[in-house]
Amino acid sequence: MAHMLAEIRQQPQVLARTLDSALRSASRLRALLERDRARLRPRLVVLAARGSSDNAAQFGRYLIEVATGIPVSLAAPSVETLYRARVDYRNALVVGISQSGESPDIRRVLERAQRAGAMTVGITNVAGSPLTRVADHVFLVRAGREKSVAATKTYTGQLMALYLLAHALGARIPVDRFRTIPALAEAALTLDPQVAAFAARYTYMRHAVVIGRGLNYGNAQEFALKLMETSYVVAERFSSADFLHGPIAMVEPRFPAFLFAPGGPVRGSIRSILSRLRTLDAETVTITDESNAGVARLATKSLVIPADIPELLSPIPYIVPSQLFAAHLAREKNLDPDRPRSLTKVTRTL
């Protein structure tokens, strides 16, 4: 677990480097789109990714639609690689997201999109990787080599790159707001001792649910993935809306439920779920910040980041306690999260 924890703690510096680097790429792309807005502004954004990168893409989907009004689709690479279908990508921006830049199916999507006339963007941590050689525009995550199999700093770096992609697409969000994110991640890291002590409570946890909505829905997917790959917990993930459409039936007393609880438009939905889970005597844990003390009081336990965080900026700092929890839980279970069984750092699928 030495590598995973070290890489979690590197994230404020990684985020600052990625912001400075990817902002240059974003500014060039924004200027290009503004020069010929009528012809080049995409009618659709398509995000292609796998694994943790796909969870980052879920965040990107919400962010870009909310901030720019451009509809976003998540690609199904098998449509291209297995079914050989011809997809109409005209007037679309197709974005490949890959930590290593080596995923052949993601590269194939970009190649097919280019042949169909689409503009392409690659988001990756590896300069000179196959993805960077295919994409028209590249946003580099500046995380350095990630030694742990479990992605942490590359995931948050991808989220930062997606903020800047939204900026390139015309989002009216001052870039200076993004500059506060590394400090918010640093504030989240101060919870490390609390999370380490807290994880022991869940040593024998075998099943759990993770709930998020909107901008933090991708985080729900990512936290569940981390629990599965590092601690072998069967973790289901849901939006708070979907959870009410059937899955809540599996909740029984002391069933563990982890919830991302920011402010903003999703606050009411999360409060409602917490109240309902309380009547079922579930074990609820919220990840939130100081602006949501009322929500925190509804939970069995809360991990409260010592900062006032607007929902728009919450996904990166909110995932940090989740990563810490996954690492410390693995330690409590005598597992090595740096080397999960049956997994390798780079997965190549078609």
pLDDT digits (tens, 9 = 90+) for 121-151: 999 999 999 999 999 999 999 999 989 889 9
Buried b (16+ CB within 10 A) or exposed e, 278-316: eeeebbbbbbbbebbeebbebbbebbbbebebebbbbbb
Domain 2-179 shares a fold with domain 184-332: yes
Distances (CA, A) of 297 to 22, 23, 239, 303: 39, 39, 21, 11
Asked if residue 140 lies in contact with residue 124, where contact means CB atoms within 8 angstroms, the answer is: yes
Distance CA(232)–CA(273), nearest Å, equals: 26
Q: The dihedral of CA 237, 240, 242, 244: what is its sign?
A: positive
Structural contact between residues 308 and 205, judged by C-beta atoms closer than 8 angstroms: no
Pick from 320, 76, 334, 343: nearest CA to 228: 343
Size (the chain), residues: 350
**CA 251 to chain CA mean position, Å:** 26
> Which CATH class name applies to 184-332?
alpha beta
Q: Which residues of 137-176 are buried (b: 16+ CB within 10 A; e: fewer)?
A: bbbbbbbeebebbbbbbbbbbbbbbbbbbbbbbebeeeee
As beta bridge partners, residue 237 has 210
Classify 2-179 by CATH class: alpha beta
Specify the pLDDT at position 293.
80
Q: For residues 166 and 278, is the Cβ–Cβ distance under 8 A?
A: no
> Which residues of the chain fall below pLDDT 50?
345
Q: Supply the pLDDT for residue 1.
A: 55
pTM over 0.85: yes
pLDDT of residue 206: 93
**Whole-number pLDDT of residue 341:** 65
Task: Give the tens place of pLDDT for each residue, 221-275.
Answer: 999 999 999 999 999 998 888 877 777 778 889 999 999 999 999 999 999 999 9
CA distance 297 to 83: 50
Which amino acid type is present at position 18? T
CA dihedral 317, 318, 321, 325 (to 10 degrees): -140
Which class for 209: exposed (0-12), middle (13-18), buried (19 or more C-beta within 10 A)?
buried
Q: Where are the domains of the chain?
A: 2-179, 184-332
Tokens of 291: 């602006």
Cα–Cα dist 246/141, whole Å? 38
